[in-house]
Amino acid sequence: MTRHMVETHAIDGQKPGTSGLRKKTPVFMQPQYLENFVQAIFNGIGGAAGKTYVLGGDGRYFNDRAAQVMLRMAAANGAKKVIVGQNALLSTPAASHLIRKRGTDGGIIMSASHNPGGPKEDFGVKFNTPNGGPAAEGVTEKIFEATKTITEYAIVDAQDVDLSTIGTTMLGEMEVEVVDPVADYALMMADIFDFDKIRALFAGGFTLRFDAMHAITGPYAKAILEDTLGAPKGSVVNAVPLPDFGGGHPDPNPIWAKSLMDLMFSGKAPDFGAASDGDGDRNMIVGRNAYVTPSDSLAVLAANATLVPAYAGGLKGVARSMPTSRALDRVAEALDIPCYETPTGWKFFGNLLDAGRATLCGEESAGTGSDHVREKDGLWAVLFWLNILAERKQSVAAIMADHWARYGRNYYSRHDYEAVDSAAANGVMEALRGKLKHLPGQVIEGMTIEAADEFAYDDPVDGSRSEGQGIRIMFIGGGRIVFRLSGTGTEGATLRVYLERVETAAAVLQDNPQHALSAVIAAADGLAEIRSRTGRNAPDVIT
């Protein structure tokens, strides 16, 4: 087998964002684009010689071909072995688990997560370190630096490896082991949750709809929910992963999972509804006539964690990303455990999980997870809810009402302005930055600003500092507005506005969030001059 060194030149803009490098698929398919980035990963982490990696993706368009390129490059870079999910498929949490279980030197995940897929949509590549988590900023910086100085990449001449058959083959000197993408993950779930109790729940007539959104969790959910736990056949819908996710956004929220929402708010609603995203790390939870915001879901999981066998001994601590609502903080306070606030993106939870400081963590963007892997985990969150429901034997709505009565309700919403002109979006942030000093003490929409700053994070484990992580405006009484620019978009800029208000009066715990937040929404618009600076009158997506 011949190994070639192919001459190349640095390509601009290969900077990993919140979660890996994401670009339009045609950009990734340009000659040498993928090759450059993969070689930069190997160069950035000190070479691949003698190393073992995991490889898999969410099955989107170009996933299969990109996997073959990466295998040829891994072989040419001297890797000892690559463990690949069958047909190059692995959900993000399953990849994280495989890296940890096999003790590999890391892994490469092909995904643009909740972004649409297809020849004209999005593709992405992410490197995870040996702890199973997304590479921390120090590592992604090195990879980015390597993309700027690259002059050649290594690749072998070879036919495609057969990734459809489970077993081990050789690619030159490198071993390629094709594994069942579901089996190890399913075993881990059985270790964490009380499967007998959940089985009894379904046997008692409990009904569920899980919408896999034509994305990667289909096979996982079928195997675990239907085949193992006895949910009625057909409970898992849109279960066959498609390269373009059936033309939809595989993003589990009330906008993109609208058919599930419609069902759950209809006379035919099952007891429980859930959905996951493109790569299987996000989750949406919805009961009969009761949508659970991700921030609330995280707080409920923390408050009920001891009902789940793996967490029966209690939580060491919890963590949430900064824009996530502070509902979790209230639970942590009651449990008397630490609650960490990190920048957006799962890579910031890694150190806390590794150091045993946090057991559970989550983000407002429908991501929840624990120390069982180093990624957020969609199906795990669904099983967590099922375990709680099996123990408490109450409806989702009743559990929420009980939670709010006890801890108060953090009304919460996120307003996204998508594909905004980058200069205008930067202008919004710059103007806000300029005002921060003068804001404390000002009264807006009847609310007094208590503090205002730009969030920076000092990692308590390794002491690293991450700056520029979003602008926060805090009101007396617990209200809050956060502004930040997305790091996962592939078109212009996405401005995210996160809105929160705390309510403890029993009579108003069941309000519509947009209504309950109307003053906070008006304050955000006034402070950030969104209309005048971006020309947008309303957000594109409200979650």
Least distance CB 115 / Co ion (angstroms): 9
Q: Which of 184, 139, 109, 163 is nearest to 46 (CA)?
A: 139
363 binds, among Co ion, ligand VG1, none (CB under 5 to 8 A by kind): ligand VG1
Residues 6+ apart with CB under 8 A from 27: 33
What residues between 422 and 481 interact with Co ion by CB under 5 A? none
- 277 binds Co ion, rule: CB under 5 A: yes
Q: Which is nearer to ligand VG1, 81 or 214 (CB)?
A: 214
Least distance CB 109 / ligand VG1 (angstroms): 9
39 binds, among Co ion, ligand VG1, none (CB under 5 to 8 A by kind): none
Least distance CB 430 / ligand VG1 (angstroms): 18
Least distance CB 412 / ligand VG1 (angstroms): 14
H or E element in which residue 155 lies: strand 152-156
Q: Which is nearer to Co ion, 35 or 377 (CB)?
A: 377
Least distance CB 277 / ligand VG1 (angstroms): 5
Site string for Co ion, 103-122 (x = CB under 5 A): ----------x---------
367 binds, among ligand VG1, Co ion, none (CB under 5 to 8 A by kind): ligand VG1
What is the Cα–Cα distance from 480 to 41, expressed in whole angstroms?
A: 38
Least distance CB 334 / Co ion (angstroms): 30
- 281 binds Co ion, rule: CB under 5 A: yes
126 binds, among ligand VG1, Co ion, none (CB under 5 to 8 A by kind): none
Q: Which is nearer to ligand VG1, 273 or 378 (CB)?
A: 378
SS (H, E, C) 303-367: HCHHHCHHHCCCCCCEEEECCCCCHHHHHHHHHCCCEEEECCCHHHCHHHHHCCCCCEEEECCCE
Q: Which of 362, 365, 340 is nearest to 461 (CA)?
A: 340
Q: For Co ion, which residue has the nearest CB? A: 113
Q: Which is nearer to ligand VG1, 379 or 449 (CB)?
A: 379
Amino acid at 131: N
Q: Which is nearer to Co ion, 52 or 344 (CB)?
A: 344
Q: For ligand VG1, which residue has the nearest CB? A: 113
- 503 binds Co ion, rule: CB under 5 A: no
Q: Of 206-214, 224-232, 275-283, 302-310, which part binds Co ion (CB under 5 A)?
A: 275-283
Q: Which is nearer to ligand VG1, 39 or 344 (CB)?
A: 344
96 binds, among Co ion, ligand VG1, none (CB under 5 to 8 A by kind): none
List 91, 113, 276, 295, catalytic entry:
113
- 35 binds Co ion, rule: CB under 5 A: no
500 binds, among Co ion, ligand VG1, none (CB under 5 to 8 A by kind): none
What is the Cα–Cα distance from 15 to 150, expressed in whole angstroms?
A: 14
Amino acid at 170: M
Beta strands (DSSP E) in 206-324 are 208-211, 236-237, 272-276, 283-287, 290-292, 318-321
Q: Which is nearer to ligand VG1, 52 or 92 (CB)?
A: 92
Q: Which is nearer to Co ion, 172 or 243 (CB)?
A: 243
Q: Which of 265, 288, 303 is nearest to 208 (CA)?
A: 288
Q: Which is nearer to ligand VG1, 211 or 281 (CB)?
A: 281
H or E element in which residue 497 lies: strand 493-503
Least distance CB 471 / Co ion (angstroms): 25
Greatest alpha-carbon span in the chain? 74
What is the Cα–Cα distance from 362 to 34, expressed in whole angstroms?
A: 31
Least distance CB 268 / ligand VG1 (angstroms): 29
- Alpha-helical (H) ranges within 150-269 are 183-192, 195-203, 217-221, 258-264
Contact positions toward ligand VG1, by CB under 6 A?
Answer: 18-19, 113-114, 277, 281-282, 321, 344-346, 363, 365, 367, 486-488, 496
Q: Which is nearer to ligand VG1, 72 or 85 (CB)?
A: 85
Q: Which of 392, 3, 418 is nearest to 197 (CA)?
A: 392
Q: Which of 114, 95, 108 is nearest to 182 (CA)?
A: 95
Least distance CB 489 / ligand VG1 (angstroms): 6
Provide the 3-class DSSP secondary structure of residue 292: strand
Name the burial class of residue 373, with classes exposed (0-12), middle (13-18) and buried (19+) by CB atoms within 10 angstroms of its CB: buried
164: number of Cβ within 10 Å:
10
344 binds, among ligand VG1, Co ion, none (CB under 5 to 8 A by kind): ligand VG1
What is the Cα–Cα distance from 143 to 296, expressed in whole angstroms?
A: 36
Tallying the residues shown for the chain, one arrives at 543
329 binds, among ligand VG1, Co ion, none (CB under 5 to 8 A by kind): none
**Residues 159/85/368/314 CA torsion (nearest 10 deg):** -140
What is the Cα–Cα distance from 490 to 488, expressed in whole angstroms?
A: 7
| The one among 105, 122, 279, 329 contacting Co ion by CB under 5 A | 279
293 binds, among ligand VG1, Co ion, none (CB under 5 to 8 A by kind): none
Q: Which of 406, 413, 405, 407 is nearest to 510 (CA)?
A: 405
> For residue 363, what are its two tokens?
């983000």
Least distance CB 113 / Co ion (angstroms): 3
Active site (annotated) includes residue 113: yes
414 binds, among ligand VG1, Co ion, none (CB under 5 to 8 A by kind): none
Name the site residues for Co ion (rule: CB under 5 A).
113, 277, 279, 281-282
User: Which are the catalytic amino acids?
Assistant: 113
